[in-house]
Each structure stands twice: as structure tokens, then as C-alpha cells.
Amino acid sequence: MTTTSLAQGPAVAPPDDDLGGAEHGQDSPPAQPSGPDPAAAVPWLRRLSVIALLLITAVLYLWSLNESGYANSFYSAAVQAGSESWKAFFFGSLDAGNSITVDKPPASLWLMALSVRLFGLSSWSILVPQALLGVATVGVMYAVVKRICDNKGISGHTAGLAAGLVTALTPSAALMFRFNNPDALLLFLLVLAGYFVLRATERAGAAWLIAAGALVGLGFLTKMMQAFLVLPAFALVYLIAAPTSVRKRLLHLLGALASVIVSLGWWVAIVELWPKSSRPYIDGSTGNSVLELVFGYNGLGRLTGSESGQVGGGAGGGPRMSDLPAGAEVFRAGGPGGGGGFGGETSILRLFQGVSGGMISWLIPAALLILVVALIMIGRAPRTDKARTALLLFGGSMITTGLVFSFMAGIYHDYYTVALAPWIAGTVIIGGTVLWRRRQRLLARITLAVAAAGSTAWAFVLLGQSGEQPYQTLRWVVLGAGLVAAAGFVLIERLPKALATIVLGLAGIAVLTGPAAYTVDTVLTPHTGSIVTAGPVSSMGGGPGGGTRFQMPGGGTRVQVPGGGTPPGMPGQAGGQTSRQGGGRPEGGAAGGIGGLLNGAQVSDALKALLSEHADDFTWVAATARAQNAASYQLATEDPVMAIGGFNGTAASPTLEQFKTYVASGRIHYFIGSDGEGRMSGTSATDSASQIQSWVEKNFTAKTVDGVTVYDLTESN
């Protein structure tokens, strides 16, 4: 069959056998544009479209951002502390008195703390930096995909816009770039590091590779070993494709490894060598050691399941099951992989089930199919081929990250899936561009058709999980559009250029409508607490194997836990889930109990006024069990509150003897009971928090302020 060019007739252009020119590190010559390039003829049009992409992303991520209040109050309290104390800033302390740290390294807190120092404490000053990180991530995605796909025609620019848009419209990305967990900074750093690796690979640039290593090291200081999930793909890409000798490739990789170690090691070394007597206790450790976090709580323990007896946690940890009241096991509802945010069964299908499915899985099947076929079709291209290099980096990062999340035996939360968003987007768009440029081949057309049909069929399933409008209607529209686009792909070589472009656009609309609908729902929903989810399906696993939603007075919605009860995060209930209260700032959980574990306490004006009395005379205006409770009181008063026992209430910080010393020296004003009865729920009598509370009850007089038990530690019995 003879194919004419578009300039000569309506048939499609010959395929481009490369995705770039020599100027971008490609060995083969650049492909010729198949027609006039409007963006090249009008440069401002290209710039305007990029600006539009970033502005749309900014509006999406900033819209009603303050409705989430302080979001995860655990991290917001640490941000407030870091804005008041440089020591707290460096260590990531939960309070400016530096009694205990959060259970993660502090890098994600630094940008937010600087913002609070400049603009004061507010929801905006905490969350806007996170949203801007999302905009920056989308910008980097545009830059890297454009560079890979650019052939001096419009296709590279269009591919970059598409990659940025797919990333921005991923529901888990819309969630985490509007929240104050560490994932926002981590994702930005890793995407930028991936861009640097590709730049290094183009010309064997050791400087670019070392810079990428430094970014990965900073990612470690954001969320520890999760930053390393991309390293196999990064290293493999450079080892295979860098245009230099094997010896130099290995030396460059060793230099990058050294950069990773130095970038993360300076902080770890300082913290570990700092005298324990003058540094805050490292939460999540049993021996006040940051190395325990590296290799245990935030490291190998997550993979091996040594932390599997826990549920919940600051950004992934949680209490022992023995700490929970009877019946708390119900919060693990959601079926395999759904897990209610607490894990569920390990499975290759974990990312497709329960809440995770709606947060990330929309394009995973298409990405895997496109990755395999695109690599096959690139075939015997030069070792340094840019398209293959980029597919190995994006596809490899997607696969390693996805496999770890699927089979990690420790704590798994649905929002972890945001780590997959850019790798999926890059794989689909770069691989799709490879196939589109070879669309005269039957294999390319069939693959594009199957990817479109499969993605929309899966979207049909996911949109049906909520059981609500507009998703029930939208799912049929998506399915119909996807099937039409799939048929168009099969016949694409017979279509005029304009109609072929319409088919491509229709396919894009069909596969993005589902995640876009979930993203809009996420943007319009306030999110508070430790465990949050995206989209209309609840973290209780609404849909197959999960909970159901029912209407609340005032127009909001609420989730009913299978077997009865209400989900964490609702007023007066346990935990810290997505809040759907018909608008307005979300309320926290009740003081104490499991509510104090995952969502903190509500602070009345009377209690706030009491704690603020003579605040400057004390290092801590109050002490209370568990960090979420302490964070609530600290954010209300903007004065340090000691979190006894750390996040779970089980850390040995402070010991009873240390606490007695603080009280004797007049450094703590009040002790706040952990529940309405003034007693820890389910904590072992050997834990410091329980010992301290028992000692306080015996030696100081209790009074009740708006239902909260308070002890004045300056007035003993």
C-alpha cells in the first residue's frame, strides 16, 4: 500500500521514526513536520496555551482551598511551630517547645513554615504552597514531554500540554496538591529529578545526573524511602542510553549515588549526633533515633509488614490494634485493596479496587498496553533513542511504584497513589505519540483503539461505583464516546487529517472525563484529618465491598460504615476522613478517644481563653495525650502544647520522671484529659502517657471546661 503525504492529499503522513532531532540527543535525523505549524508561526499562541494550562491548574488547586481549614492538623501544628522556632523548623518539631517531632523528616514542612512566617497562620498560608507545587509539577511535566516529543512541529507542544493536563486531572493529585501531607513536595522533586535524568542521558551530562541525585536525596528528607522507588528506573535509563562508554556511565551513576547520600545524609547525621538531651524526641522511633525511622517505621517496616499491627498514622503510621476500643476493626472496611485507608490485602489488583481505583487507576491499563507496544514499535532504534529512554523512565517508575504499593505488607493509604500520577501520564502521552506517528501500521491502530475502548470501559465501571448523579449518566456518555473513538482509530489511515484529529480529540475527552469528574468532586469537597480520599467514593470503600452514602441535613453527604456506625472524620465520631458537610469549614472529631488519634479535638472559646492565660510564662501552655489532640489546642491558641506519647500516644516521650521535672520547674501550665472521663482509651498501663495521666489524676484537681477535663499543674492537691 502506498501512502501519500498530507500535503498531497487527505491520507495520513508517513510515520515519524523518531521523536526528536539531533539537537535533542537523537541519533537519527529529525522528522519533517507534516504540515504548517500554527504555534510556530505565531509563537505567542504556544506561550499562551502553556500559560492557560498553568492558570487552569492553579484555579483548580486553589479553588475554595480555605474550606479545608488546617487540613491535617498534625502537620499544620508542626508548621506553626516551625514558624515560631528555628529549632522546631530544623527538626520538624510538633511544638515550639521542641518536645517531640512529627513522624516524618521535615522538608515538606519548611516551605509551609516559611509561608506562615511571612503571612501569618491561616489555612491559605499553609495550603497555597502545596497548590503551587502542583502547578510547578504540571509545568515540569509539560517541559519534559515536550522535549521528548518535539520534532520541530506542533506535536511536541501538544503532547506536553496533554501530559500536564492528564497529571492535573488525576484525582489523587487534585487531593494531595490541596492538602498539607508530604506527598506534594515529594512528587514535585521526583518529577523534576526525572527531567534532570533525561537531560543527563541526552549527552551523558554528569552534572545533570548529580543534580537529579540531590533532588532524590531531598525527597528522602520529605518522605524517606518512598523517594527511592524511582531509582531503579532512573539508573537503568542512564546505564542503557547515555551516549558514552560503559565505564563513564557507571562512574556518573556512582557520582549520582554519592549526591543522594550527601543530600540526605547531612540532616540525618546532624540529628543523630545531636545530644538526645537537647533535641526533640523522634516520633515513630522507640529509642529516639532517626535511623529507626529510616529502616523501620518509615522504611523496611512498610514493606515487610512489621508495622501491620497499626492502623492510621500521621502520614501513614498509626496505633497498635490493642489501642483501639472494641469494634474499631470496622474501620478496615473496603475489601481487598480498599482497606478504608488502612491497607487491605496485598494484591496485584490493589490499585484497581476500592477507593484507590477511582483515585489513580483510570489510565493504568492503557499505560501498560501502550508502553509494551510502543517499545516494540521503536524496535531497533539507536541505543540513545529519546522515545525509548523516556518510556523506560516513565514506564519503569510507574511499574516499580505500582508494584511496591500493591504488595507492601505494611500500612497502605489510598492517597499514596498520587506518586503514580506523573509516571502514568508520561507513559500514556509519550507512548501514544509514538503510536500516533506510526498509525499507518495496523498494530499501532489496534493498540490505540483497544486503549481507548478499554479506558472508557474501565471508566464506566469506576463512575458506576458512586451510585449517584451525575456519574450514572456520565458513564454512558463516556462509554459511547470512547467506543466511537476506538472505531475511528481502526479506520484512521482512511480519514482526512481534520477528521483524524477529531478522533484523537474525542478519545482524549472520553478517557479524561471520568477522572476530571472525580477531580471536580475532590476540589469541591473539604478534606481534613489524617486519612483523606479523592472522588465521590468514600474511604470506607463505597462501591463494591465498601460503604454507602446517604444524604445529610443541609445538602451534604455522609458515609455509612458497613455493619453500622459512621466513618471517621464526622463531628463527634472517630478518625479523620473526608468531610462532606454541605460547605463551610469542616469540623474536627470529638476530643479524646479515637477521635483524638486521627482528627484531633474541637476547642471551645472558653477552653482557648483558659489555655491562653499567662501563656508567656510557660514553655508549654498545656500537655495532652496524642499529637492530634495537642495539635488542635496548639493551632487554636498558637502557643506550644506538648503531645504526650506522640502521634499514637505510645512513644516514650516524655517519661514520667521527665514530666515531673517539667511540672516542678513550672514549664507546663495545664494537663488536658484525653477523653471525657479523663483517661486514655485502651493504652497499656506501662506506656508513659498512661503513667503520666494516672500521676496527674492523683496529684492535681480536675475541672471541666465545656466537657473537657483540665488539670492546673501549678496547683497540686
**What's the pLDDT at 407?**
93
Residue 435 — pLDDT band, cuts 50, 70, 90?
A: very high
Strand order in the sheet with 641-644: 641-644, 620-625, 668-672, 708-716, 700-705
Per-residue pLDDT of 321-363, as tens digits, reads: 334 433 333 333 333 333 334 556 888 999 999 899 999 999 9
The pLDDT tens digits for 259-292 are: 999 999 999 999 999 999 999 999 988 889 899 8
Confidence of residue 26 (pLDDT cuts 50, 70, 90): very low
- Cα–Cα distances in Å, from 524 out to 67, 360, 514, 557? 9, 18, 16, 13
Closest CA to 507 of 449, 457, 458: 449
Question: Is 655 among the domain residues?
Answer: yes
Q: Is the pLDDT of residue 675 over 60?
A: no
C-alpha span between 247 and 239 (Å, rounded): 10
Strand 708-716 with 668-672, pairing: antiparallel
The one-letter code for the residue type at 261 is: I
pLDDT value of residue 15: 40
Regarding predicted confidence, which is higher, 318 or 184?
184
Cα gap 605→344, rounded to integer Å: 40
The answer to whether the beta carbons of residues 433 and 158 sit under 8 Å apart is no
Q: Are 597 and 575 in contact (CB under 8 A)?
A: yes
pLDDT digits (tens, 9 = 90+) for 567-580: 333 333 333 344 44
Mean pLDDT of the 613-620 span:
94
List pLDDT tens digits, range 107-158.
999 999 999 999 999 999 999 999 999 999 999 999 999 999 987 555 799 9
Contact 297, 287 (CB under 8 A): no
Give me the domain span that covers residue 658: 603-716
In the structure grid, which three cell numbers stand for residue 546, read together? 465498601
Domain count for the chain, please give it: 1
Say if 628 falls within a structural domain.
yes
Report if residue 665 sits inside a domain.
yes
Cell numbers representing residue 669 in the block? 501550665
pLDDT tens digits, 155-172: 799 999 999 999 999 999
pLDDT for 159: 95
For the whole model, what pTM was predicted?
0.85
pLDDT per residue as tens digits for the range 350-408: 999 989 999 999 999 999 999 999 999 998 899 999 999 999 999 999 999 999 999 98
**Rounded Cα gap, residues 631 and 94, in angstroms:** 8
pLDDT at 598 (0 to 100): 63
Are 97 and 642 a contacting pair, CB within 8 Å? yes
Taking Cα atoms as reference points, which of 622, 620, 604 lies closest to residue 671? 622
- Neighbouring residues of 590: CB distance < 8 A, sequence distance ≥ 6: 571, 572, 573, 596, 601, 602
The predicted structure's pLDDT at residue 593: 34
Q: Which residue has the higher pLDDT, 607 or 648?
A: 607
pLDDT at 362: 97
230 in a structural domain: no
Tell me the three state secondary structure of residue 702.
Answer: strand
From CA 210, how far away is CA 245, in angstroms rounded? Answer: 18
- Residue 716 phi/psi, 5° resolution? -80, 160
Q: CA 178 to CA 128: how far, in whole Å?
A: 8
The C-alpha cell of 711 is what? 488539670
**662 has a pLDDT exceeding 50:** yes
- Provide the pLDDT for residue 460: 97
Average pLDDT over residues 8-12: 37
Surface-to-core class of residue 452, CB atoms within 10 Å of its CB (0-12 exposed, 13-18 middle, 19+ buried): buried
In a domain, 112, yes or no: no
> Residue 466: its pLDDT value, please?
87
- What type of residue sits at position 335? G
8 Å CB contact between 522 and 534: yes
Torsion of CA 183, 187, 188, 190, to 10 degrees: 140
Residue 435's alpha-carbon distances to 1, 82, 150, 404, 429, in angstroms, are 19, 50, 15, 29, 10
550 versus 693: which is more confidently predicted? Answer: 693
Instruction: Note the pLDDT of residue 96.
Output: 97
User: For residue 46, what pLDDT band results from cuts at 50, 70 and 90?
Assistant: confident
Lookup result for grid cell 500535503: 7
* Per-residue pLDDT at 592: 36
Distance CA 406, CA 399 (A): 10
Residue 305 has pLDDT above 70, yes or no: no
Average pLDDT of the chain, as a whole number:
82
- Of residues 539 and 471, more confidence is placed in 471
Q: Which runs of E-coded beta strand occur in 342-405?
A: none
Residue-wise pLDDT for 479-496, tens only, equals 999 999 999 999 998 899
CA dihedral 289, 294, 298, 302 (to 10 degrees): -120
Helix axes 206-223, 246-273, angle to 10 degrees: 30
Set of cell numbers at residue 260: 543522594
Run of H or E including 213: helix 206-223
| Residue 638 maps to a domain | yes
Q: What does each C-alpha distance from 247 to 235, 239, 243, 251, 252 come to in angstroms?
A: 14, 10, 12, 6, 9
Question: Is position 54 within any domain?
Answer: no
Domain contains 645:
yes
pLDDT higher than threshold 60 for residue 554 = no
- Burial (CB < 10 A; 0-12, 13-18, 19+), residue 43, is exposed
Q: What is the chain's alpha carbon radius of gyration, rounded to the nearest angstrom?
A: 27
